[in-house]
Amino acid sequence: MKQELNLDHKRVCDISSDQKVIKIRLKDCLTIITANPDGSLNITHERIQAVA
Per-residue pLDDT reduced to its tens digit, 2-40? 999 999 999 999 999 999 999 999 989 999 999 999 999
15 located within any domain: yes
Rounded Cα gap, residues 21 and 15, in angstroms: 6
DSSP annotation of 50 reads: P
pTM listed for this prediction = 0.83
52 located within any domain: no
Rounded Cα gap, residues 15 and 45, in angstroms: 16
Residue 26's contacts (CB-CB under 8 Å, 6 or more residues apart) are none
pLDDT, residue 52, reads 65
Domain that holds residue 15: 2-47
8 located within any domain: yes
Residues pairing with 33 in the sheet = 22, 43
Domain count, the chain: 1
Question: Rg (Cα) of the chain, in Å, rounded?
Answer: 12
